[in-house]
Amino acid sequence: MSTKSESYLVEENMNTVYDLIRAEMDKTLFKKKYNLSGDIAENGGIDLSPKLVFAYFQPNLGPVAKINLSATNICTDGKRCRLDLKRINGLTYKIHVGFVIGLCSLIIIIAGFYAIMGSGEFDLKILALPLFGLFYFLMIEGVADITTSNTKQRVLKILTDKKVKYKKQ
């Protein structure tokens, strides 16, 4: 799994970084080069997600995972800023993880009831059922990690293409 937060030291003003990202977000669907969309976050910064996604889940209540981009000037002259890219799990992710927890809990309760009320023999095969929930969770987490890392790479590619120097902190 990828890390949830990354920081970069950017050799540019924070307003310039925001303007570069907003310029990509404001383009129409077929003119987008980096496939980014987003909106202003409640806690500051910009929440970014891909406009066209690889995997589509039902119920779809937004992206599985988003990147919160926030930039802060670290010098008084405004020539450098710190860029924070933080993963935020979307509502779709939370619903699917809740489903996995509920599914595994239900299967374990049924297995316990079967063991207590059964014929006296406990079949170990029934304990393999929670593995379906674990597999589903790993699939959702994998899609969220891929989405997150691709979005981070797109943000860094925007900076690279505009010849903005940055390094990871």
pLDDT in tens, 111-125: 778 777 766 666 677
- Percentage of the chain surpassing pLDDT 90? 30
Report, as an integer, the average pLDDT of 34-50.
83
pLDDT: which is higher, 165 or 123 = 165
Q: What is the DSSP letter of 78?
A: S
pTM above 0.85, yes or no: no
Q: Total structural domains in the chain?
A: 1
Instruction: Decide if 105 is inside a domain.
Output: yes
Paired with 83 in beta bridges are 8, 71
Evaluate whether residue 95 is within a structural domain. yes
Report the pLDDT averaged over residues 138-150: 90
Task: Inform me whether the pLDDT recorded for 1 exceeds 50.
Answer: no
- Return the structure tokens found at 93: 């992710």
Q: How many CA atoms lie within 13 A of 150 on its CB side?
A: 16
Of the two residues 122 and 147, the one the predictor is more confident about is 147
Query: How far separated are the first and last CA of the chain, in Å rounded?
Result: 19
In a domain, 118, yes or no: yes
What's residue 82's pLDDT? 93
Check residue 35 and give its pLDDT: 79
* Angle at which helices 91-117 and 130-161 cross, to 10°: 160
Task: State the residue range of the domain holding 108.
Answer: 5-163
Judge whether 20 lies within some domain: yes
**How many other β-carbons are positioned within 10 Å of the β-carbon of residue 13?**
17
* Comparison of pLDDT for 123 and 38, the residue scoring more: 38
Q: What is the pLDDT of residue 142?
A: 92
Average pLDDT score over residue span 138-143: 91
In total, the chain counts a number of residues equal to 169
Q: Which whole number is the average pLDDT over 134-145?
A: 91
Mean pLDDT of the chain: 84
What is the average pLDDT across 88-92?
A: 87
Looking at residue 128, what is its pLDDT?
A: 78
Kindly state whether residue 65 falls inside one of the protein's structural domains: yes
Reported confidence tier of residue 168, pLDDT bands at 50, 70, 90? very high
CA distances from 12 to 17, 84, 105, 162 (A): 7, 14, 50, 11
168 assigned to some structural domain: no
Could you tell me if residue 169 is inside a domain?
Answer: no
Q: Is residue 44 part of a domain?
A: yes
